[in-house]
Amino acid sequence: VSQSRYSPIEDTPAWEAGIEPGDRVIAVDGKSTKGLSLVEASQLMRGKKGSKTVLSIVREGEDKPKDISITRGSVKIKSVKYTDLGDGYGYFKITSFIENTGKDLEKALTDHLQVSKVIKGIVIDLRRNPGGLLDQAIRVSDLFIPEGKIVSTIGRDKAKEEIVYASKKARFTGFPIMVLMNEYSASASEIVAGALQDNKRAIIMGEKSFGKEYASYYRKQELYRL
């Protein structure tokens, strides 16, 4: 944990307390995270709602570690945020890929269509999105891709390749898409960006995505993006 960068999910207690993308957690309430797994470190952070915990972090560009006090709370993540940009254009921020992300994005797109009557183009903002569930990355991609490959996975036996294709039920086609990425866009975010780009449904703008975290995460599950 202390050797890894991460991005806090928006609207969580860590985000509100001022934890920033790229911060390295080196201690929780004075206990070092060195040698701890992510699960073990997470357990140290857990506690009663309303109680406080202090994270010691190292921030890029700063000489000394700093302590940040966080008030624990119930994490209720709104993974899709929508803004009507006017004249048929919409902005959709996906903060993470959780159980209802695909459904929530579809609803937001439907609401946008009802308001604007036509979709001329959209921006999908995946900056600082640390990823999440693979099935939701597939569902999000499937909303826009009329046909073609979404993702391929290979285990140790390279002869056993699993390919997920678009369902050909895409509701939102025929308009341009811009996907925003940065160095903290990882895992499921990279799958969506890659699928939309490979199928010529979107242009990708911003910064090179995290990559390293993405590869590490999927190697543990013996899955590889082609």
Q: What is the pLDDT of residues 182-197, one digit of tens each?
A: 988 999 999 999 999 9
Higher pLDDT, 199 or 38: 199
Residue 200 has pLDDT above 60, yes or no: yes
pLDDT score, position 184:
87
Total Cβ atoms within 10 A of residue 201: 22
**Alpha carbons 136 and 152: distance in angstroms, whole number:** 15
Q: Across the chain, what does the average pLDDT equal?
A: 86
For the cut 50, the answer to whether the pLDDT of residue 209 exceeds it is yes
Residue 188's pLDDT is 94
Predicted confidence (pLDDT) at residue 60 exceeds the cutoff of 90? no
The pLDDT tens digits for 92-132 are: 999 999 999 999 999 999 999 999 999 999 999 999 898 99
Evaluate if residue 74 carries a pLDDT over 50: yes
> Which positions are annotated as active-site residues?
187, 198, 212
What is the pLDDT, as a whole number, of residue 212?
A: 44
